[in-house]
A and B are shown apart, each in its own frame.
Chain A
């Protein structure tokens, strides 16, 4: 995976997933609004301001006002007094609710107003009246105590807390919460989209094949429509229907023609005769692709032989509606002569070797020499030999591919992961076979990407 994403590509990725991002953002905003209005209860504030004068009643100066240090100390002193039980206990008894001092301390703050000699006492409560009341009671109690304790009369109530029916709650703040939730939701969504992109291992485009597999794309086959069946007995035989639907109209669809053309080019230039079709996993389209290719070769009057070597999951006898009581396995496991296992298909120039009865577990070792002997014996009778094989991870496949002139790897653009495909190509290469390229099957033509490239 190439990790350098330029900004344009990044924007394109994000834009491609704009709906996911929007949906995540909208749902986080919705969640935050719900919490703000339904879960959190509103909190109101009562605020009193006290002026502490620096002169004593008898006119003696307090420590010099220029001395910041001592003035700060003074503020700390007053704050400590306000928060002391001497001041707060009377407040609690006046309030007539079972509040502890610690609790009350949590709800109140004492701060000087911009380094001035004005002290601000704030009290928060879910009920505005209680907040206002408490703030005023604290101020009064403090005034009284200073007079009693310090014999000072320098605390003046500047502005008492007042009840205001239009007052806004101080918390929660819907606007702030919404903005925060939009930011969090947006970041979260973009994170998800980028992670998804980074961990996306599908081969969803030709570019993905060339960058991840370093193989040429021999053909791109779109997802074919499922033909409606008129005949009840052959419906469900999707392979035959998809094959024959286009074929019987004599209009084999263009993507297969392009594929056949690029294979033909390779065959001519590199004098290849036997081509093996495989894929990293089952069901990725080896059989359908190889069958269509064989049909097109036969159609262009090349003497074509199709061999079904997927002995465990054979399918070409279903596609061509041929008996399968003799086939490749009869030759491999029972010495049946080669000429007895070749069948003629309903299509001119196309001969078939079906897989034959699937061998049981006890007889599963392939005799590679016999495969080689068969391919060598038939080389002169045919122009092209197409071999359908099991998925690459099955041990048969590298054995067979070693005797083919070239191998093509069919990948499913929706389901094949490129690490699997890379491993498959490696296995084939290790068997001394030449990988000719990749066929990107089951490609969704109306890909959003098409708008960007």
Chain B
């Protein structure tokens, strides 16, 4: 039984399912993919998409009741996918505006797509000093990281964890994205895999499909590592990482000189 820590399962809150029925369909799909627990992570974008903490918690409760009534073996927990903003560390402290993943120290963060802001180092450090651990959402789809993957490696060295989308490891995604996602795994720059499911057909749960792909390419220990980490995040327990291998985006002759 696996845990999915990033998806948009709650209806009528963000760009996830519009109707309750769509959400139920998604829940069925999750169960088929061998998932027992999901952390629903609606988008939080400061200024234009700010679902309230209460609304999310309320919808989660409602959903769990519904699932129990329909005997769907799935438990929903609440969280958020928070688009990065400079005051995130203080916002987390006050605990009113944003949510971590299931009340754990882990905070799912959507990075800006244009550039990695200069304050990131201080922000991540301050978050960790206050007991929060940044988790970078679908890093493989972020252009700054695609351009310079060592930026991601450096953030890992500063204590950030990296989540990639299950879809990026399957044939449903572009070849280039698939290639980059695999490169990140090879460089030990991935710690979590999650579905980021939005819709039964357009953006479905593909978690088990992705785990199978990982097992086929990298072996069982890798799959076990990812699965275990997702559960540790759900339970708010700490996890260890392997040292990331820098990409060394240097000119080839410099590599030669080494």
What is A's interface to B at a CB cutoff of 8 Å?
A: 231-234, 236-237, 239, 315, 317-318, 321-326, 329-330, 333-334, 356-363
Contacts and interface: CB of A to CB of B under 8 A. Distances in A.
B238 interface: yes
Contacts of A358: 125, 157-159
Given A360-B125, A361-B121, A323 B240 contact: yes
B218 interface: yes
Given A236-B245, A317-B240, A324 B159 contact: yes
Contacts of B124: 357
Given A232-B219, A325-B131, 5 more contacts: A236-B245, A321-B240, A358-B157, A359-B125, A361-B121
B159 A236 contact: no
20 contacts: A231-B221, A232-B222, A233-B218, A233-B219, A315-B243, A318-B242, A321-B240, A323-B238, A323-B240, A324-B159, A324-B240, A325-B133, A329-B129, A330-B128, A333-B125, A334-B129, A356-B128, A357-B129, A360-B122, A360-B125
B247 interface: no
Contacts of B245: 236
9 nearest CB pairs, A to B: A323-B238, A334-B129, A357-B159, A357-B128, A360-B121, A321-B240, A318-B243, A360-B122, A360-B125
A360 B127 CA distance: 12
B128 A236 contact: no
B157 to A, nearest CB: 7
Contact of B105 (A325, A334, A360): A325
Contacts of B225: 233
B35 to A, nearest CB: 23
A235 to B, nearest CB: 9
B221 A233 contact: yes
A358 B130 CA distance: 14
A63 B130 CA distance: 120
A232 B121 contact: no
A237 B243 contact: yes
Contacts of B240: 317, 321-324
Q: Which of B128, B159, B238 has most chain A Cβ within 10 Å?
A: B128
Contacts of A359: 125
A232 B128 CA distance: 29
A361 B125 CA distance: 11
Contacts of B242: 233-234, 236-237, 318
A321 B229 CA distance: 13
A332 to B, nearest CB: 10
Contacts of A324: 159, 240-241
A319 B129 CA distance: 23
A329 B128 CA distance: 10
B188 interface: yes
A436 B238 CA distance: 38
Given A333-B129, A357-B125, A323 B157 contact: no
Interface string B230-258: 00000000111111010000000000000
B188 A236 contact: yes
Contacts of B157: 358
A357 B128 CA distance: 7
Nearest to B129: A334
B221 A325 contact: no
A220 to B, nearest CB: 27
A63 B212 CA distance: 119
B130 A357 contact: no
B243 A236 contact: yes
B178 to A, nearest CB: 19
Nearest to A238: B243
A323 B121 contact: no
A325 B131 CA distance: 8
B176 to A, nearest CB: 24
Contacts of B131: 325-326
A316 to B, nearest CB: 11
Contacts of A361: 121
Contacts of A232: 218-219, 221-222
Contacts of A233: 188, 218-219, 221-222, 225, 242
A322 B239 CA distance: 7
Contacts of A239: 243
Contacts of B122: 360, 362-363
A260 to B, nearest CB: 26
B160 to A, nearest CB: 9
Contacts of A231: 219, 221
Interface in B180-196: 188
Interface in B93-135: 105, 121-122, 124-125, 128-131, 133
A352 to B, nearest CB: 12
Nearest to B224: A233
Nearest to A324: B159
Nearest to B128: A357
Interface in B211-230: 218-219, 221-222, 225
B158 A357 contact: yes
Nearest to B123: A360
Contacts of B219: 231-233
Contacts of A325: 105, 128, 131, 133, 159, 238
Nearest to B121: A360
A330 B158 CA distance: 13
A310 to B, nearest CB: 12
Q: Which of B121, B129, B240, B242 has most chain A Cβ within 10 Å?
A: B129
A3 B71 CA distance: 89
A359 B158 CA distance: 8
A323 B129 contact: no
Interface in B154-189: 157-159, 188
Interface string B62-99: 00000000000000000000000000000000000000
B18 to A, nearest CB: 38
Nearest to A330: B129
Nearest to A231: B221
A323 B239 contact: yes
Contacts of A356: 128
Contacts of B188: 233, 236
B101 to A, nearest CB: 14
Q: Which of A232, A234, A317, A334 has most chain B Cβ within 10 Å?
A: A232
B240 to A, nearest CB: 5
A357 B239 CA distance: 14
A109 to B, nearest CB: 57
A221 B169 CA distance: 44
